[in-house]
Amino acid sequence: MTNMPPEYPVIFEFLPDLKTFYKKWLGKPLEAKNLSFEDKNLDIIKEWKKEIKKEEKK
């Protein structure tokens, strides 16, 4: 159990730009295919909420 109120917002500041980091900071290309970033924070929080509700019913 946490001390935060229900549905307390998670602070999420940015998605990393890995291509730029590798190119400018490491001086080499990123060796990965299909680079796409998707913010799934709200989906994860909804799952946590469901889990908490299940625990509260017990």
User: Which amino acid type is present at position 45?
Assistant: I
| pLDDT tens-digit map of 5-16 | 766 776 666 677
Q: Is residue 24 part of a domain?
A: yes
Q: Is residue 52 part of a domain?
A: yes
Give the 3-state DSSP-derived string for the chain, with helices as H, strands as E and coil as C: CCCCCCCCCCCCCCCCCHHHHHHHHHCCCCCCCCCCCCCCHHHHHHHHHHHHHHHHHC
Residue 28 pLDDT: 92
Q: Is residue 9 part of a domain?
A: no
pTM: 0.38
Q: Is residue 29 part of a domain?
A: yes
Residues 6+ apart with CB under 8 A from 54: none
Is the pLDDT reported for residue 48 higher than 70?
yes
